[in-house]
């Protein structure tokens, strides 16, 4: 089917007390793997690209890949700009046909984050494209940006931020971190519960790669409607390539090792769809 926006997906998830998996993709094989996994499990799905990913190949190439694969599927597929780093980048994604936009001004002062986010919302709203933003700061390394700070989201500030910006979804900082964890993260489920009391829009969890599945399920129970996965998909794809080349270093056909990378990504995505409880929701 044609690409859809993420808004209907996440509002349905909010009502049904489940989440939609949002998976970062880097190439054609990863796009195919994510959509095939969603199709087999009859789950809605969101595919995401970051600023560094689109710098690598361009919005138009990723859009064309995802559009072509989505049109062969019967489940809802959305294409999302993850961690959009500027107003200009958000507009580029919108013009190219992305059906979901994140503007990330979380490292900016409050007024600048609010103003930038509101500007993106006002630009996307006439096109009926939903906007996600982040309040607080999810630490670690995301794309080519890194932060040692992981300021947690204030429930009261979250309510004010949503009201002033008009965003459709809010990414919250509750103890997760981007990249590979060096120890078990301390996830603040109590804080998430408080944020949910103050905010009515669907909530988003970033930095989920490496978080225990049971913890993610608890976050969904407390109101998370979109769960982002990135680092572990890259690891899975790379492991597939290494497996083939370690077995036979003479292999020169990219389709051979690409197929194994695709298979491992697909298995990973299927597992996380179970965690999100979105299987069978893609009708």
Q: Which residues are catalytic?
A: 82
Distance between CA atoms of residues 177 and 131, nearest Å: 21
| Residue 147 annotated as lining a ligand binding site | no
Distance in Å from the first CA to the final CA of the chain:
11
Closest alpha carbon to 33 in 6, 66, 80, 71: 66
| Residue 212 annotated as lining a ligand binding site | no
| Residue 134 annotated as lining a ligand binding site | yes
| Residue 206 annotated as lining a ligand binding site | yes
| Residue 80 annotated as lining a ligand binding site | no
- The count of residues in the chain is 283
| Residue 209 annotated as lining a ligand binding site | yes
| Residue 5 annotated as lining a ligand binding site | no
Contacts of 68 (CB under 8 A, 6+ apart): none
| Residue 40 annotated as lining a ligand binding site | no
| Residue 230 annotated as lining a ligand binding site | yes
| Residue 24 annotated as lining a ligand binding site | no
Distance between CA atoms of residues 34 and 45, nearest Å: 8
| Residue 68 annotated as lining a ligand binding site | no
Strand order in the sheet with 177-178: 145-147, 139-142, 177-178
Distance between CA atoms of residues 274 and 272, nearest Å: 5
151 exposure class (CB count in 10 Å sphere: 0-12, 13-18, 19+): middle
Residue list for the binding site for Zn(2+): 83, 104, 134, 178, 206
Residue list for the binding site for dihydroxyacetone phosphate: 179, 207-209, 228-231
Residue list for the binding site: 83, 104, 134, 178-179, 206-209, 228-231
């Amino acid at each position: 089917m044609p690409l859809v926006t993420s808004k209907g997906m996440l509002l349905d998830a909010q009502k049904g007390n489940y989440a939609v998996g949002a998976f970062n993709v880097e190439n054609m094989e990863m796009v195919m793997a994510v959509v095939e996994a969603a199709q087999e499990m009859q789950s809605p799905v969101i595919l995401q690209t970051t600023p560094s990913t689109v710098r690598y190949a361009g919005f138009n190439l990723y859009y064309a890949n995802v559009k072509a694969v989505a049109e062969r599927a019967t489940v809802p597929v959305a294409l999302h700009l993850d961690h959009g780093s500027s107003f200009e980048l958000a507009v580029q994604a919108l013009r190219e046909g992305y059906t979901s936009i994140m503007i990330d001004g979380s490292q900016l002062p409050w007024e600048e984050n609010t103003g930038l986010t509101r500007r993106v919302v006002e630009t996307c709203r006439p096109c009926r494209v939903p906007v996600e933003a982040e309040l607080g700061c999810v630490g670690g390394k995301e794309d080519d940006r890194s932060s040692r700070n992981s300021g947690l989201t204030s429930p009261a500030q979250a309510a004010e931020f949503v009201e002033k910006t008009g965003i459709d979804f809010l990414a919250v900082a509750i103890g997760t971190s981007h990249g590979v964890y060096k120890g078990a993260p301390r996830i603040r489920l109590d804080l998430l519960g408080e944020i949910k009391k103050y905010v009515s829009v669907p909530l988003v969890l970033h930095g989920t790669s490496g978080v225990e599945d049971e913890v993610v399920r608890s976050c969904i129970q407390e109101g998370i409607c979109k769960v982002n996965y990135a680092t572990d998909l890259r690891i899975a794809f790379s492991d597939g390539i290494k497996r083939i080349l370690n077995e036979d270093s003479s292999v020169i056909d990219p389709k051979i090792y690409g197929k194994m990378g695709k298979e491992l990504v697909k298995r990973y995505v299927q597992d996380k769809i179970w965690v999100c409880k979105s299987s069978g929701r893609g009708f």
